[in-house]
Amino acid sequence: MNWFQRTKESIADGTTKKELPNVWIKCDHCGEILYKKELEKNLNVCLKCSHHFRVNAKTYIQLILDENSFKPVNKDMLSEDPLEFTDTKKYSDRLRTTIEKTGLKDAIQTGLGLIDGRVTALAVMDFGFIGGSMGSVVGEKISRVTDLAIQNRVPLIIVSASGGARMMEGALSLMQLAKTSAKLSIMHREGLPFISVLTDPTTGGVTASFAMLGDINLAEPGALIGFAGPRVIKEATGKDLPPGFQRAEFLVDHGFVDLIVQRSELKKTISRLLSFMEANTNKNLDLSQIRV
């Protein structure tokens, strides 16, 4: 239909409207308009200011592990709704719609893989699943993959991206703080390396438990890391907060984070660190020998 044949009705019903592909994105940090394909080639890091956009768990798995080496464990574990919790919608409905939307079963993926040929246990959180919140499944999967690392004497890497404990599960969610911390204390006692990778955001109960317990804590540039948010802290203390408070750079300066690592350097950095920490690990283990 050409322009002269268009009527109010044809415009209103949208029959002649063509949807243009959404190929551009604006950087939240510098305001630059970025071509999505170029951004993806740059690992979702802004080409102008190096702002690290949030990426999903699958991206980190591909980024950190050797190609096609990931062997998932406990992948079909699902959350339940023991409290029959309802806020703006039922928790059971929220779980179902989130699973359908994301294709994930919960907010974390766990398994074994290779980092430059070295067998490593890996857990990666996904902020896209109810804000990466930690419920019973997240805590249980971290506990089980930690057990797997201990049994096979291999390193453990956890990539955190979370708004904190999942309020819909109440005390059951808060119990995961103690459970995951207890498992990691066994890992530490065994002398096995645990590297924690903090991405944007890592907050609440996740920060108060496993995320800050790494033998080495790495962070992506600009990541928000903390327990309570800046607004809550300001209201509680009545004081203005320092510039950059709770960002990765601030935490490095104050000793809470060991190193800030660009996304492009993450695998190389982890591999180099593991080579310094492998004294008590099974360095000759073959991934094919492990049943998961």
180-217 pLDDT, tens per residue?
A: 999 999 999 999 999 999 999 999 999 999 999 999 99
Q: What local confidence, expressed as pLDDT, does residue 12 receive?
A: 53
pLDDT digits (tens, 9 = 90+) for 153-176: 999 999 999 999 999 999 999 999
pLDDT digits (tens, 9 = 90+) for 11-44: 555 544 455 468 999 999 999 999 999 999 999 9
* Residue 92 banded pLDDT, cuts 50, 70, 90: very high
Of 60-64, 229-233, 276-280, which gets the smallest average pLDDT? 229-233
What structural domains does the chain harbor?
Answer: 19-53 (no CATH), 55-282 (3.90.226.10)
Q: What local confidence, expressed as pLDDT, does residue 116 receive?
A: 97
Q: Which two tokens stand for residue 263?
A: 């996304």
pLDDT above 70: residue 70: yes
Percent residues over pLDDT 70 in the chain: 93
Q: What local confidence, expressed as pLDDT, does residue 21 receive?
A: 65
The model scores a pTM over 0.85: yes
**Residue 12, φ and ψ in degrees, nearest 5:** -70, -40
Residue identified by tokens 């592990």 is: 65
Percent residues over pLDDT 90 in the chain: 86
Q: What local confidence, expressed as pLDDT, does residue 48 receive?
A: 96
Any residues with CB less than 8 A from the CB of 38 and at least 6 apart, and which? Answer: 47
pLDDT above 90: residue 147: yes
Q: What local confidence, expressed as pLDDT, does residue 20 receive?
A: 47
What is the C-alpha to C-alpha distance for residues 245 and 229, in angstroms, rounded to an integer? 10
117-142 mean pLDDT:
98
Q: Is 242 helix (H, G, I), strand (E, B) or coil?
A: coil
Q: What local confidence, expressed as pLDDT, does residue 288 receive?
A: 86
Cβ-count burial 229-262 (b if 16+ within 10 Å, e if not): beeeeeeeeeeeeeeeebbbebbeeeebbbebbe
- Cα separations in angstroms, 286 against 93, 114, 124, 147: 42, 9, 22, 18
